[in-house]
Amino acid sequence: MTLAEAAHDTILAALDGDRRSIFLLACLYLVLVCAYSAFHQNRISRWPGVRGRLISAGVRRFGGTAWAKTDQQYVPEALYEYQVDGRRYLGKRVSPWMMVASRNMRFLLNAQLRGVESDDEGHVTVYYDPRNPAKSFLIRTGWVSQLVTIAIAALPTALYIVRYH
């Protein structure tokens, strides 16, 4: 059986509700997404930093208004300015890790904001893409973030191998 035939059979089996095939396809998808994310995080970890000025930072509601307060979603929010090669930019991204939290978990977003390097005068370190300086973050990913991303892909894959092989 060729790889193309095996892939075709797996997709058909998943469409028929075969748990093993669904699990396998989910693992493959997760591995692809996490591999791309780890590659992107590795690039970001090498972006240069420049001194910028924090205009505002906080947590804001995300999405529509929820019926129950505990169902409301929140995201970190920031506005900052910085210069690269004499050109002024405005940034709003806090981190490559897009975090959305419920009302009860907003403390996680505030903890993320505390990870922003700043001084008493409101200056922050802004990490920017040298190929596109308009793209920036206040928090640069490190090896821990990359390791977590790899673990997110590895754990279900390991469970699949243990269960089915």
What's the CA gap between 162 and 34, in Å, rounded? 21
Please answer whether residues 92 and 75 qualify as being in contact, where contact means their C-beta atoms are separated by less than 8 angstroms. no
Please answer whether residues 140 and 47 qualify as being in contact, where contact means their C-beta atoms are separated by less than 8 angstroms. yes
Residue type, 10: T
In the chain, domain spans = 3-44+147-164, 51-137
Give the pLDDT confidence score for residue 116 in this predicted structure: 81
Please answer whether residues 136 and 89 qualify as being in contact, where contact means their C-beta atoms are separated by less than 8 angstroms. yes
Could you write out the DSSP letters of every residue in the chain?
A: --HHHHHHHHHHHHHTT-HHHHHHHHHHHHHHHHHHHHHHHHHHTT--EEEEEEEEEEEEEESSPPSSGGG-EEEEEEEEEEEETTEEEEE----SS---EEGGGHHHHHHHHHTS-B-TTSEEEEEEETTEEEEEESS---HHHHHHHHHHHHHHHHHHHHHH-
pLDDT (tens, 9 = 90+) of the chain, 165 residues, equals: 898 888 888 888 889 999 999 999 999 999 999 999 999 899 999 999 999 999 988 777 777 676 766 677 888 888 999 999 999 999 999 888 777 777 777 777 777 777 787 888 879 999 999 999 999 999 888 888 888 889 988 998 898 889 888
pTM score, whole prediction = 0.73
Token pair recorded at residue 123: 């200056």
Q: How far lies 85's CA from each of 44, 125, 132, in Å?
A: 19, 16, 12
Give the pLDDT confidence score for residue 126 in this predicted structure: 95
